[in-house]
Structure 1
Amino acid sequence: MWSFFMSSHPRRWLESLVDRLYNLRWGLLLISLILTGVAIFPASQLSFEQSIESLYAEDDQHLLDYLESKSLFGGDEFIFVAYSTPDLLEPEGLLEVRRYAKELSKIPGVNTELSQNLADALSPPRLNFFLRALIRRKKDELTDLFRGVLVGDDNQTTAIVLRLLPESESPVPRAETFQMIRKMANAHTPAAYVVGEPIQVHDMFRYVEEDGEILFKVSLGFLALVLFLLFRRLRWVMLPLLVVICSILWTEAILVLGHFQLSMVSSMLNSLVTIIGIATVAHVAVHFQELQRSNVSRPRAIRQTMVELLPAIFWTCATTAAGFASLLSSEIAPVRSFGIMMAIGTMMVLLAAIVLLPGGISLGYLNAPLKHSSERGLERLLKKVCIGTEHYPKTLLGFASLFVLLAGGGFYRLQIETDFSKNFRESSDIVQALDFVETRLGGASTWEVNFPAPSKLDEAFLERVRALAEDLRRVNPPDKEQLTKVISITDTLDFVPKIPFASDPVKSKLDQLKKLQPDFESSLYNPEKGRMRLVLRALERQSAEEKLSLIHKVDALAKKHFPGSEVKQSANDSKSKPAESGKAAGIFILLAYLIDSLLKDQLFSFLLAGASILTMMTIAFRSLKIGMISMVPNLFPIVLVVGAMGWFGLPLNIGTAMIASVSMGLTTDSSIHFITGFLRERSRGASITDALRRTHKSVGRAIIFATCALVAGFSVLTLSHFIPLIYFGALVSVAMIGGMLGSLILLPILLRLFYSDHLESAA
């Protein structure tokens, strides 16, 4: 590729382009800054998709079951506000429960009519004499009926269950509803705790959005400090940050105009664009400074830097964009959007570098920088590394192969994180609330099994429901409670005594039940659609194996008791059709299978990314062999990262599920610049040994500078409240270090072993 650009016509074309860019540098710089200012407003309008459903393929069965349940029973978006008080079951305690529940029910976004509390459950308002007498006589039995939902085993802990309005019907955004609930909980005496899947999901997105924005700004500041220590020039601090900020603002403005939304997957967009931008400018800075130290004038040094590095910058960005574009093969919409976003962001880095750097470097006074002792020490280290690759290639390759095998062993130790609470620090409000509820009241996760039901209930069918409920209550293993509560329509029906001489005993009981709990029947039974459900409570804080095993056992029991062989009537069709079998559904299941959903097509996307990068490398260097050689330092960090996850027990979570594809798109920079620098030196007549040593001295220094700055910047992510962000920062740092080692150690050995004059003539 390099000889292609060095041949007469392409070389003249490139020099002509660079001359034009240099002559227009002030205008391009001004236009770029104006466009950046214009982009600020639309970029600020980029919204955040805060939906778990969006992280599933549209035809995913778990998602379809969940959406069907929402349409049948209205969804289970419950918030539990729990607290403990010694006099809970005393009249004063129940009076406080009712008062507090009324206050919570008035919060905008809460369905006032469907909220539940222990006081109303034990003493429902507006009852007839018969039911009031029944409740007084069976108060203990009724209390046990609500145990694990509204009252704990200690008879001191209670929960007020708030049912949320659908987001489309809520007068305020969900975030405001949750904020008001938490504010009222914090003000309550004794302290109240707030849990529920909707608020857990909200906290996840909130932390990603807030922490991501704050830590990105902090990391930029830390990056600036490290860049200043490395380059000792304010210019080489401001220019990289300018390229990064402009690229991000332009990208976000384009995304808004294209009606894109950020999601959990694409929340890392700014960080990844930062990596590409900083690495690009680091190579320019090192190359330009070397020319100045050789007494090349600034205008000529700018032109020569652009002529010699622009091809490598172009192919780096094009290859990275192609790698991320492979994510378009995913069935998950946010993953596809992320691929598009990163492809756009990468090309914006290329555009920003082209239009900003000539003018930015030309601004103000700039003398030839002196080499500091640290730089000379780094050069000596790089020289030793290069000599080591010359003298001990087989030994180094052997160690690298052994290291790859060792790291590869970590693949078999990888685990998928399904405990949603593990996404948060132990000190966070949500984890403390989960601990309180799950130790004193029961499981904090709500889900269900639903099954076919007749349009009119009878005792024979209800007996089957009782049998399923009893089997579900026995599903827990002997040594651990996983499923903490099974709520069935038969529980309350059995509590209501049979009315003598009633023509339809079941219907008469249902009528009495509506007076006790008006919404109870409709929340469990949809006669028009011919479907019934049992509501389940389960522990959120349990391992992946336990959680998935529980889901499989519950689903199997639902299918065993209701295999779907019954016949039901369609609401809009007089023809009969087979009823669908019983099944488990709910957001509990969506959260449990979330990482599986993200991983489902990642192997294919990763292979497609590898093929795309290999193709681009082959085109760039006009040699399949060099293209294949360049893949080694790109694959090495993937093995390093994934293996480290396995050996150090880092689970696959929302932040790490796509780390292989992300790393593949980020490690091409070092290898392309190293190979381009090597071929450039060869075209000047240097021997293979001299070309590698010179490339180590120049390109190697830029690779180390960029890696050090970025690893330092990403260390800021360890301050996040959201654990996946911490893992993401750490693993991306490992990937960049692995890419650096691959380019500085493995790549020179491979070039020395497989490079030939034949390759050079083809390149």
Structure 2
Amino acid sequence: MNRLGALYDRFILPHPWIVLILFGAILALAALRFDQFRLDASAESLVLENDRSLEEYRQVNRIFTTSDDFLVVTYSPREDLFSETGLQRLAALRDELQALEAVGSTNSILNVPLLHSPDLTLDTVDSEIKTLDDHDVAPQTARQALLDNPMYPNLLLSEDAGTTAIQVNLPTPERYFELLNRRNELRDKASSGNASAEDQQQLEQVSRQFIDYTEQLGAERDATIGQVRSILDNYREHASIHLGGVPMIVADMIRFIESDLSTFGLGVLAFLLLTLAIIFRQWRWVLVPLLCCGFTVWLMIGFLGWAQWPVTVISSNFISLLLIMTLSLTIHLIVRYREFQHDEPGAAPRDVLRRTIMAMVKPCFYMAVTTIVAFGSLTFSGIRPVIDFGWMMTLGLTVAFLITFLVFPALLSLLPPPLDNRVTSNKVPFTDAFARFTEHFGGTVLVGSAIIAVLCVIGLNRLTVENSFIDYFKSSTEIHQGMITIDGRLGGTTPLDVVITDEPAPENPGDDPFASDCDPFLDDCGDEEYRDTWYTYQKMRDLGAVHDYLHSLPETGKVLSISTTLDLLAQVNGGEPLDALQLAFVPAAVPEDLQDILLTPYISEEHDQARFSIRILETLPELRRQELLDRIRNHLSTELGYDKDRILLSGMTVMYNNMLQSLFDSQIKTIGVVFGAILAMFLLLFRSVKLALIGMAPNLIAAGSVLGLMGWLGIPLDMMTITVAAITVGIAVDDTIHYIHRFKTEFAKDGAYLATMHRCHRSIGQAMFFTSLTIISGFSILVLSNFIPTIYFGLFTGFAMFMALLGALTLLPRLIVLLKPFPAP
């Protein structure tokens, strides 16, 4: 401490201008990369660390030439869709959308083949297929042909034919995949330790190119989605129209994040400043905290830009958190400064400032370290965006502490605050009421805490992680409305792929199968006899059983597979199922321009794989993703006889479920690490097992209260609320450290526990109350967000601060008075 005091006496307090000028240079350097600060809501930003699901998802899309890079426009006309006027308006809308530069193609009821001609057979399918675009087909005839087709209902057309969809395809350029694959190859090489210096340089270069290209594509996608919305607005007079699709959801999520970063970051700051003005009523006590908070956020944004470290959905609230954590540090300094002013009204401002810094640097350092430990524990979660969030906050808190103890004293040296008359008054502060309550109703405090603890345990047992993605957005948002329409009328929202790999052909196939008595084209000869194609009677029958099972599940909407194509061909075949010989010639019978619709999305002969495309009903209240995926795997393996290693489940449903299901493990792991680390910190700081355990009690109650309340209210854990418990502990432990540290200092004066408790409530208790009040007020503005997890984050953080304050002002002093952990002075 003597060396630290000498540092302040020689450099910081006598030369505040030099400190601020040097710091200004650092701020200028950080500002050079503000333009590199970016947001990321891509699939990569929401997967588990080292999760193979993303690569499997991309591989399935490559093999079966499918993609989720398309927008879905739902169109429900106010008049009959299948009328001349209705189809003309739909065609006009489709044509405008297709004319956009970024649109590769569109799919709608206007260009899909109609199977209604009486002359249509397997032999004439190439010449007799008609479409609404190219042929004169009566609207009602087209309506019936589309409804009779097994592929289109609940996909492009609702079952009542009142709603249709236009699929607007936005192809991703090959350049993206080239850079992605090259980057991944170099990353794998570097992680295995086989990368040369040249490879490392190439990795940096390719990573930079990939980021730049991704940002360029994102900007182009945003512009395209804006153009699409402008076109749709021109047609809303005659129809109810909603926009959906993965690109639109990603774009809107980024828009919500940007809104939360800017609007709510500024809103939280405004609320905090208003609260400071009301509490302290001096412009210096508003300006100085404002500058400290602003500088912290400034440096972190600049650093993230320099490091090319994107902000994700989860870490989007880091600005608000840094504001309140920096503000917490400055409020404690302000309150302590005012206390010294009260004790020595005639002391020189510089002496008061020095005493304040020396008195608060130790508890604030302990507070910063324990909070860093709490946020650092998020790096053990296994969820990539949560890990990134943990590292961002760890670095941000370090910056906040350094700025507080460098900039705060430099500013106050130049702007010494005058003595506030309210500081010198002998009015007992409001917080002493908690001390009186604790003194006279100590038993009530203990019993009440025990009841809360029991309720927390019950609530924890009711926690779940099964929530619908649609519940992340308010019902007034276009995402929510579009997903409701797609889910309810057009076959489901979230994609799930089930891929089955064929058994490998025997190494010694033996005799020619045609030499046996069984004809593989006409009869069921079994897989052992004939393995070189999927188009056999046995295999198609087995795939049909899989299709029927998937379609029977209540959680699934539209299911497409090769069975859908066979049903369609059977319809063309006069309603008769294809026999074994006809099955063998299906690839040749389907016209080449229809193979990308009817065959290649479902069968890959090259990779010996068959794919089932499923849409999951996100609005189903009984949806349990993990249970559904386990049920599918078990049924295919036990009931239908497929080896488990031949079954692959892929798609957005799987990646999202993987993250959700890891939440329980990571939550337990995270909280365990937090409390273990904080207990170790308390033992190191207080040198007393008894005092360390006393300090843990209010933190356990605060964290348990948040998770327990979520369980009681039926609010599931998600990618945002998982962090609340760790944040709660990190903030609650600040109050604990400050209170115990002050109690130890005050207790040394007279050795009286009750008198010490009252003095602490009147001094450090005020700082704790002011800090909690400003944080709760600031975070209340998050309820205005369109992103439901952000709303929960604000509400639960505010509730956590209330419970942490309540525990620190009641349970903590009651345990200290009861157990008497301090030795007599």
TM-score (norm 1): 0.88
> Could you tell me which residue of structure 1 aligns to residue 618 of structure 2?
540
> Could you tell me which residue of structure 1 aligns to residue 809 of structure 2?
744
Q: 1:340 aligns with which of 385, 391, 401?
A: 391
Q: CA offsets per residue over residues 80-107 of structure 1, 9 Å max, x none? A: 2111234433455445444433432343
1:503 to partner: Cα distance: 11
1:372 to partner: Cα distance: 8.0
> Could you tell me which residue of structure 2 aligns to residue 306 of structure 1?
357
Q: CA offsets per residue over residues 14-55 of structure 1, 9 Å max, x none? A: 432332332233321232233224323324422222223433
> Could you tell me which residue of structure 1 aligns to residue 522 of structure 2?
none
1:472 to partner: Cα distance: 2.3
8 Å CA contact retained: 2:698, 2:811: yes
The change in CA–CA distance for 1:44 and 1:541 in structure 2 (over 3 A counts) is same
1:194 to partner: Cα distance: 1.2
> Could you tell me which residue of structure 1 aligns to residue 104 of structure 2?
111
Q: CA offsets per residue over residues 98-157 of structure 1, 9 Å max, x none? A: 443343234344432xx3211111459xx9965453668996455332111111112232
1:695 to partner: Cα distance: 1.4
Q: 1:687 aligns with which of 752, 757, 769?
A: 752
> Could you tell me which residue of structure 2 aligns to residue 228 of structure 1?
277
> Could you tell me which residue of structure 2 aligns to residue 488 of structure 1?
561
1:369 to partner: Cα distance: 0.5
Q: Distance in 2 between matches of 1:436 and 1:757?
A: 65
Q: CA offsets per residue over residues 316-337 of structure 1, 9 Å max, x none? A: 1111112222222232332222
> CA RMSD for the aligned pairs?
3.0
8 Å CA contact retained: 1:559, 1:583: no
> Could you tell me which residue of structure 2 aligns to residue 16 of structure 1?
6
The change in CA–CA distance for 1:472 and 1:671 in structure 2 (over 3 A counts) is same
Q: Distance in 2 between matches of 1:58 and 1:605?
A: 15
The change in CA–CA distance for 1:502 and 1:302 in structure 2 (over 3 A counts) is closer
Q: Report the more deviating stretch, 147-156 or 80-89.
A: 80-89
In the alignment, does 2:676 pair up with 1:629? no
8 Å CA contact retained: 1:122, 1:143: no
- Secondary structure of 1:306's counterpart equals helix
Q: 2:540 aligns with which of 458, 462, 476?
A: 462
The change in CA–CA distance for 1:161 and 1:551 in structure 2 (over 3 A counts) is farther
In the alignment, does 2:101 pair up with 1:101? no
- Secondary structure of 2:559's counterpart equals strand
> Could you tell me which residue of structure 1 aligns to residue 790 of structure 2?
725
1:736 to partner: Cα distance: 0.9
- Secondary structure of 2:484's counterpart equals helix
8 Å CA contact retained: 1:562, 1:581: no
> Could you tell me which residue of structure 2 aligns to residue 479 of structure 1?
none
Unaligned runs of 5+ in 2: 131-136, 178-213, 503-530
1:735 to partner: Cα distance: 1.0
The change in CA–CA distance for 1:109 and 1:683 in structure 2 (over 3 A counts) is farther
Q: 2:604 aligns with which of 519, 522, 526?
A: 526
Q: CA offsets per residue over residues 255-301 of structure 1, 9 Å max, x none? A: 33333222222122112212211111111111111222231321111
In the alignment, does 2:230 pair up with 1:183? yes
> Could you tell me which residue of structure 2 aligns to residue 444 of structure 1?
493
> Could you tell me which residue of structure 2 aligns to residue 148 of structure 1?
154
TM-score (norm 2): 0.82
Q: 1:416 aligns with which of 457, 465, 469?
A: 465
> Could you tell me which residue of structure 1 aligns to residue 198 of structure 2?
none
- Secondary structure of 1:618's counterpart equals helix
The change in CA–CA distance for 1:130 and 1:414 in structure 2 (over 3 A counts) is closer
> Could you tell me which residue of structure 1 aligns to residue 711 of structure 2?
646
In the alignment, does 2:637 pair up with 1:559? yes
> Could you tell me which residue of structure 2 aligns to residue 568 of structure 1?
none
1:386 to partner: Cα distance: 1.5
Q: 1:70 aligns with which of 58, 61, 65?
A: 61
> Could you tell me which residue of structure 2 aligns to residue 572 of structure 1?
none
8 Å CA contact retained: 2:465, 2:664: no
Q: Distance in 2 between matches of 1:515 and 1:88?
A: 31
Aligned residue identity for 1:334: P
8 Å CA contact retained: 2:452, 2:701: no
- Secondary structure of 2:645's counterpart equals coil
> Could you tell me which residue of structure 1 aligns to residue 516 of structure 2?
none
Q: CA offsets per residue over residues 209-245 of structure 1, 9 Å max, x none? A: 3223211111111211111000001111111121111
Aligned residue identity for 1:166: T
Instruction: Report percent identity of matched pairs.
Output: 26
Q: Report the more deviating stretch, 283-292 or 331-340.
A: 331-340
Q: Distance in 2 between matches of 1:756 and 1:538?
A: 58
Q: 2:583 aligns with which of 506, 514, 539?
A: 506
Q: Distance in 2 between matches of 1:491 and 1:315?
A: 65
8 Å CA contact retained: 1:450, 1:558: no
8 Å CA contact retained: 1:196, 1:445: no
The change in CA–CA distance for 1:391 and 1:190 in structure 2 (over 3 A counts) is closer
> Could you tell me which residue of structure 1 aligns to residue 661 of structure 2?
596
Aligned residue identity for 2:798: S
> Could you tell me which residue of structure 1 aligns to residue 310 of structure 2?
261
Q: Distance in 2 between matches of 1:620 and 1:279?
A: 20
> Could you tell me which residue of structure 2 aligns to residue 517 of structure 1?
594
Q: Report the more deviating stretch, 318-327 or 129-138.
A: 129-138
8 Å CA contact retained: 1:466, 1:490: yes
The change in CA–CA distance for 1:402 and 1:274 in structure 2 (over 3 A counts) is same
- Secondary structure of 2:661's counterpart equals helix
The change in CA–CA distance for 1:177 and 1:132 in structure 2 (over 3 A counts) is same
Q: Report the more deviating stretch, 115-124 or 232-241.
A: 115-124
> Could you tell me which residue of structure 1 aligns to residue 170 of structure 2?
164
> Could you tell me which residue of structure 1 aligns to residue 207 of structure 2?
none
8 Å CA contact retained: 2:429, 2:766: no
8 Å CA contact retained: 1:316, 1:668: yes
Q: Distance in 2 between matches of 1:93 and 1:159?
A: 14
1:561 to partner: Cα distance: 6.6
> Could you tell me which residue of structure 2 aligns to residue 82 of structure 1?
74
Q: CA offsets per residue over residues 638-697 of structure 1, 9 Å max, x none? A: 011112222233332232122212212222211111111112223445533332222111
> Could you tell me which residue of structure 1 aligns to residue 553 of structure 2?
475
1:515 to partner: Cα distance: 4.2
1:58 to partner: Cα distance: 4.1
